[in-house]
Amino acid sequence: MEIKKIKLKAVLAFAGMMIMFLIGFGACGGQITKGPAEKPKEESLPPAEESEEGKATKLAWSYDPTGKRDPFEIPKPLTPPDLGTCGNYYLDQMWIDGIIIGGGNKNIAHIILPNAKDCFVKVGDVIGANKGVVKDIRSDGIIVEEQFLDPVDPTKIRVVDKFLKMETESGTQMLKK
C-alpha cells in the first residue's frame, strides 16, 4: 500500500513537470528564438602583426598576494588586553599590605589579591575589574578613580573615587569613599 502511494506521487510529479514544459513551449509559438538582434559588424582593418618583442612584453593579469593574509590560515582568536593579576578582581576584594614612600611622588603600594598573589602599583596604573586608575598613593591608602555610565543619564560618565585603606594592626577594614 505504501509503495503504491510513493509510485503514484512520482508519476504525478513527472506528469506535472511535462505539462509545465508543454505550456512553456506552447507560449513561445512553437518556435525557438534567439536573443536580441545582432548589430551589423563594422568593417575594420585586420590587426597589425606584432613583433616578437611585443609578444614577449605583453603579460596576462596575475594575482599578487603580497600584503594579504592567507585565506586558508585559521584566524588567531581575539584576546582582551592583559590587565595583569591586579585587573581580575574588584577593589573590594583587594587589600593593601604596605606602602613604600619614595621621593618625588614615586610611591608604590603593595596589594594582596584574594588568590594569595600580590602586585605592586604606582600612580597611573590600571587596577581592578572596572579598570580604575590609581590617582594618588598616600601613607594611609590609595585613591582609585573608576568611571561608570550614570544610570540616571546614560550619556554621562560618572567618575567615582574609591579609597583603599591600608589595614593596620587594629584590624580596620577597607573603606570606600
Q: Is the residue at 102 inside a domain?
A: yes
Supply the CATH number for residue 116's domain: 2.30.30.830
Q: Provide the pairing of β-strand 95-100 with 132-137.
A: unpaired
pLDDT for 4: 83
Name, in order, each residue with C-beta under 8 angstroms of 117's C-beta and a sequence gap of 6 or more. 85
Which stretch of 107-111, 149-153, 154-158 has the lowest confidence by average pLDDT? 154-158
For the sheet with 126-127, list strands across it: 126-127, 132-137, 141-149, 157-165
Q: Is the residue at 140 inside a domain?
A: yes
For the chain, give the percent of residues with pLDDT over 90. Answer: 5
Q: Is the residue at 42 inside a domain?
A: no
Q: Provide the pairing of β-strand 108-112 with 95-100.
A: antiparallel
Q: Considering its fold, how many domains does the chain have in total?
A: 1
Whole-prediction pTM: 0.45
Helix (H) or strand (E) holding 3: helix 2-27
Helix (H) or strand (E) holding 160: strand 157-165
Q: Is the residue at 141 inside a domain?
A: yes
- Classify each residue of 76-86 as buried b or exposed e, where b means 16 or more C-beta atoms within 10 Å of its C-beta: eeeeeeeeeeb
∠39-42-48 over CA atoms, to 5°? 135
Q: Which domain holds residue 121?
A: 85-165
**What pLDDT, in 10s, does the model give residues 67-83?**
898 889 998 887 765 55
Q: Is the residue at 30 inside a domain?
A: no
Residue carrying C-alpha cell 560618572: 158
**What pLDDT, in 10s, does the model give residues 159-174?**
777 777 766 655 444 4
pLDDT for 104: 75
pLDDT at 135 over 80: yes
Q: Is the residue at 125 inside a domain?
A: yes
pLDDT for 45: 58
pLDDT band at 141 (very low <50, low <70, confident <90, very high): confident
pLDDT for 171: 47
Q: Is the residue at 26 inside a domain?
A: no
Tell me how far CA of residue 144 lies from CA of 19, 134, 137, 158, in angstroms.
Answer: 81, 4, 9, 14
**What pLDDT, in 10s, does the model give residues 12-55?**
999 988 888 888 767 766 566 666 666 656 666 566 565 555 55
pLDDT for 44: 60
Q: For residue 46, what is its C-alpha cell?
A: 585586420
pLDDT for 172: 44
Q: Which whole number is the average pLDDT over 95-101?
A: 87
Q: Is the residue at 18 inside a domain?
A: no
